[in-house]
Amino acid sequence: MYEKIIIAGSGGQGIMFLGNLLCNVAASLNKYTTFFPSYGAEIRGGTANCSVIIADDEIGSPVIAEPSILIVMNEQSYNRFLPKLKKGGLLFVNSSLVFSAPPDAVQIPATEIALQVGDVRAANMVMLGKFIKDTKVFPVAAVNDVIKKVLENKKNLLEVNLFAFMRGTKL
Amino acid sequence: MKGNIAVCEGAIAAGCTTYFGYPITPQNEIPAYMSKKMVELGRVFVQAESELAAINMVFGAAVSGSRAMTSSSSPGISLKQEGISYLAGAELPCVIVNVQRGGPGLGNISGSQADYFQATKGGGHGDYRLIVLAPYSVKEMYDLTFLAFDLADNYRIPVMILTDGIVGQMMEPVEINPEFRVQSSEIKKDWKLDGCKGREPRLMRSLIMEEGGLEKHNWHLKKKYDGIKKTEIRCEANFPDSAEITVVAFGIAARICKSAVKKLRQEGLKVGLMRPVTLWPFPEKAISDIAAKSKKILVAEMNMGQMVEDVKLAVNGKCPVEFLGAPGGAVFSEDEIIAKIKKL
């Protein structure tokens, strides 16, 4: 395995949290992994993105030129990162906010589902659920465990995040 | 763990008791983390009013015998140069971390390797050297920072951790060696200013005005630097005996080159990698030996060509030396390196 994942959206959509979480799951399963955030002079509500690599072997550059998997949460990020996606790469889009994605993309109305679940901020977890279900990069249980661990001290957020994640795995 | 945090943890494990800093991206996690951790541990954290103040506070802390550290990024390190020269002149141990960003000037906030000359050739005035360590992973951020404090005390010399915004910002799992123990108690600081009750007063300075005094001091420093060159060179070589083309790179660039070399070996190409871990003292002999066995050497750096000059001096005409650069905060990809090597 050598997956190069770029996660992109707007500030506040939990992009860094999602990247971090993937990295933590990878570490918990003894995989090699790197996380590299974009830290340009971004503004609140501006774009946010991060690069996560998960591999069975040592990782060279943590910077990704050509992602094998792209997870985009809004239209702006979709336009920016789509040209970088590797040929034959997997594309996951939040169809609540991305309107021009091609039909072969995995389209999830993550923001709508998150609203149904009770917290618009959980859209990232819905995406994660669907991502795990489709790619099988990690077992669902391993992700579940890490979410519980990471949000251990934020019990009010734990429930909705776990719920949103599980919803995603069933889409 | 994030690279910048690993620097903090390495410093704390090494017994760093005083930290002085001033914020600048991409190293802000260091002062932010130290502001919490150092206070929790009952150690000293000061956010100084400027970089100049921070480096001079390091001087004060070091002269009183404490393990002192400061960190900054390229433009901030330029501001510290006067103080670094004073520390080198007065032979005071300390650790200075440079999480490099793009330059010249304020440049940008992307990772870069453009401060190689400044770090290894003496960024301040006068004849002096720093020990310069170049970590290429989050684990080495920890290990080399830990090591830096011992080297600094052993040789009474400022040690620089020369890293960059990519290694500083990236996160990866780190296993910490439980064998690390603080050695500070074993190193006798018989020069420190800790009150002269019951002993002769000591004088610590970098101003040496008496006839012939400074010349003597400089020869003393030279002898010390020559000693460090003999004992403290560190480097990592991959496939040194079977390579026709050897890539020489440090820090993050070496990490990218390492996976490019691995891919090319799988294709059957005879390629090797030489990674200086100490940029000063520079692994001249190791590179010279490799040059004698290689057909070509490629130096890959995230700048316009700095270490390549030291490589050329070490190779001394034994084989051609090519260069691949990425200045201004740009990063080359594995594929670019592979394409360049195939063209050689």
CB-CB contact of B244 with B294 (8 Å): yes
CATH (domain of A134): 3.40.920.10
Range with lowest mean pLDDT among A45-49, A165-169, B91-95, B171-175: A45-49
Partner-chain residue, chosen from A27, A35, A60, that has the shortest CB–CB distance to B255: A60
User: For residue A93, what are the domain limits?
Assistant: 2-169
Domains annotated on chain B, with CATH: 3-190+223-227 (3.40.50.970), 235-343 (3.40.50.920)
pLDDT 10s digits, A95-104: 999 999 898 9
Q: Is B259 close to A60, i.e. CB distance below 8 A?
A: yes
**Mean pLDDT value of segment B106-113:** 94
Q: Comparing A10 with B70, which gets the higher pLDDT?
A: B70
Contacts of A87 in chain B (CB under 8 A): none
CB spacing of B109 vs A41 below 8 angstroms: yes
How far is it, in rounded angstroms, from Cα A112 to Cα A10?
16
Distance CA B225, CA B215 (A): 15
Q: Is the pLDDT of residue B186 over 80?
A: no
Chain A nearest-CA distance from B45, in A, is 26
**Range name among B51-60, B189-198, B311-320 with the lowest pLDDT average:** B189-198
Strand partners, A52: A5, A35
Q: What percent of chain B has pLDDT over 90?
A: 92
Within chain B, strands assigned E span 18-21, 44-47, 68-72, 94-100, 131-133, 158-164, 235-238, 245-248, 271-276, 278-280, 296-301, 321-325
How many domains in chain A?
Answer: 1
Q: What is the model's pLDDT at position B184?
A: 53
Mean pLDDT of B28-51: 97
What's the pTM value of the predicted model, to 2 decimals? 0.93
What does the longest C-alpha to C-alpha distance in chain A come to? Answer: 41
Task: Give kind and range of the element (H or E) at residue B180.
Answer: none
* Residues 6 or more apart in contact with residue B34 via CB below 8 angstroms: B8, B11, B19, B21, B45
Residues 78-107 of A with CB under 8 A from B: none
Strands B44-47 and B235-238: unpaired
Chain B residues within 8 A of A65 when measuring between CB atoms: 333, 335
The answer to whether A70 touches A3, Cβ cutoff 8 Å, is no
Q: How far apart are CA A118 and CA A124, in angstroms?
A: 13
A15 close to B (CB below 8 A) = no
CA torsion through residues A153, A108, A83, A86, sign: positive
Q: Is the pLDDT of residue A45 over 80?
A: no
What pLDDT score was predicted for residue B242? 86
